[in-house]
Chains A and B, each alone.
Chain A
């Protein structure tokens, strides 16, 4: 029997019982649809977190103050800050694998504008900072190396600060006071939104680190140094280089622990995404239970169908169908039902994911592999749950099958 004939026979038999076929398919439709919606939610959450993390900057490495142990007890992170501008400058000067290096001198101060005041984060950075964080301005300009060298009193303000101090106006060129020091607004940054931790990244003012240190913070220690590499592949080498340069800068002997911490973005991303991937895996696993229930539905109906069509099976055997012909016929039938269900479920899942995104505002992403997954899974369900009824049909005794009423 040719494959076309087999498919035609299966199709005929499916059409003969439209309502029953539809109800059987529904189980697979719901199963596949549920899996796709859950995968879409999981992928969406992951994509969102990845986007947030990459908004920190590309190929980013962060050098943070280290912890020290006193009398064998670790004092926790940043208990002893020895990071300095000189470390950042040494990294910039000696590094061979870095694309950009910027110190971050952080403080929080009240900023006074013409129409009000606002307390915000002040970050003193180098021009590399804009490269590292892939950040530009919507109006005005960013500062240049000469501004850093000369310690000019200029500031590039975040979108939130601009909204608070200059609602509805262009802040470029305006004067503001930061901790009683007058500054000129050089530009307004592009809005980045919240970071993975929910903090507003636009509530910030950037200025040359020289200015920040001498005019505002007065502290020789700095909060962090940001380093970026050219490609993600350079990150491990860059981390090693940072460690060796920093140990040299801090004159640490062979046995001494690092007094700084080097973190890369991948580690940060991994920590954040591992939770969501566990969650989305769990969701998909729960959803796939419904796929199994759908498969059991197919098995159930196929068993009923085999009993109901015992006489038909007997006739087919009498005129020369082998057991394998009967087996194939029923197997093809259950596979066709379940793959059809899978295809309908694919569209249902796609629609469900869109509707969910529309009504809840969640980010949902249906991965392209969902098409393969839907067809593959439903086909596998068809084979797995169709085999037992098909084998039962194939094993019937033709005489008894013919006599069956």
Chain B
């Protein structure tokens, strides 16, 4: 089930070279990113930190092939992304990327399994023979093996985020991009989601998390801090925390949400 292993470890998953992004607000030019250089290698767990306006959302959009840089180059798994058409970007997102959002972004009134299955239905390579079964496997992998038919409104926030992670994983992506994945979760659920992300990373998936919470960034292996569109600091973490250990330490002291209580 590992997918990060597709690339050899010497070739960067992400290679950002002199990327600049300018937004035009009427007459004014706003520099969201200024000549950013960045490499992320397979197996890394990177936290991108920064206050609002630092350019981390813009960087996320570019890394996620949702947006293209104004200047500079971006290569995903050795493939140049800048200058690609809308359709090519869509295919790239489908085949190489998995997204996890702050607001979960699951389709409402659509069962968990159908949400997870969705990326496979947009596949154009014909690689996936049985989307339903693969979606089931992905849900089992995030620990939701018995909640296939539940709709998002019937799940707790933590469970919804796990469905979203399953959806991101189901295509065996090169890279998991998580945009404030714990922003809408309480502290216990935050740790639970981070346990899952660390597990997946240990299995070889490259992960980039955008967050402004220092607590969350401490679970990463490397932190990149942005300010005003520049990379301010880029350093590895020496004393990396284990989410699993933190969860064990929490024990039962934090009261679980009602939905968690009813969980089988």
Binding site for B on A (CB under 8 A): 1, 5, 12, 16, 311-312, 314-325, 398-399, 402
Contacts and interface: CB of A to CB of B under 8 A. Distances in A.
B122 A319 contact: yes
A261 to B, nearest CB: 73
Nearest to A319: B119
Interface in B138-192: 167, 171
Given A320-B95, A320-B119, A322-B122, 11 more contacts: A1-B121, A1-B122, A5-B121, A311-B105, A315-B107, A316-B118, A318-B66, A320-B91, A322-B90, A323-B87, A398-B66
Interface string B39-66: 0000000000000000000000100101
Nearest to A405: B103
A12 B99 contact: no
Contacts of A12: 110
Interface in B102-133: 105-110, 118-119, 121-123
Nearest to B109: A16
B109 A320 contact: no
Contacts of A5: 121
Contacts of B95: 320
Interface string B78-113: 000000001100110111000101000111111000
29 contacts: A12-B110, A16-B109, A311-B105, A312-B107, A312-B108, A314-B105, A315-B106, A316-B122, A318-B64, A318-B66, A318-B93, A318-B99, A318-B105, A319-B119, A319-B122, A320-B90, A320-B93, A320-B94, A320-B122, A320-B171, A321-B90, A322-B87, A322-B90, A322-B91, A324-B87, A325-B122, A399-B61, A399-B67, A402-B66
A319 B86 contact: no
Interface of B: 61, 64, 66-67, 86-87, 90-91, 93-95, 99, 101, 105-110, 118-119, 121-123, 167, 171
Contacts, number: 57
Given A1-B122, A399-B61, A319 B94 contact: yes
Contacts of B90: 317, 320-323
A380 to B, nearest CB: 28
Contacts of A321: 90, 94, 122
A37 to B, nearest CB: 38
A316 B93 CA distance: 11
Identify the 3 closest CB pairs spanning chains A and B, nearest first: A320-B94, A320-B122, A319-B119
A212 B110 CA distance: 88
Contacts of A1: 121-122
A185 B243 CA distance: 115
A399 B87 CA distance: 15
B151 to A, nearest CB: 11
Judged by DSSP, the binding face of A is helix
Contacts of A324: 87
A402 B91 contact: no
A322 B86 contact: yes
B105 A323 contact: no
A315 B93 CA distance: 11
Contacts of B122: 1, 316, 319-322, 325
B160 to A, nearest CB: 13
A323 B93 CA distance: 13
Contacts of A318: 64, 66, 93, 99, 105
Contacts of B109: 16
B7 to A, nearest CB: 19
Contacts of B61: 399
Contacts of A16: 109
A302 B9 CA distance: 48
A319 B131 CA distance: 15
B67 A315 contact: no
Nearest to B90: A322
A321 B246 CA distance: 38
A402 to B, nearest CB: 7
A384 B108 CA distance: 29
Nearest to A394: B86
A311 B64 CA distance: 17
Nearest to B92: A320
A315 B108 CA distance: 11
B172 to A, nearest CB: 13
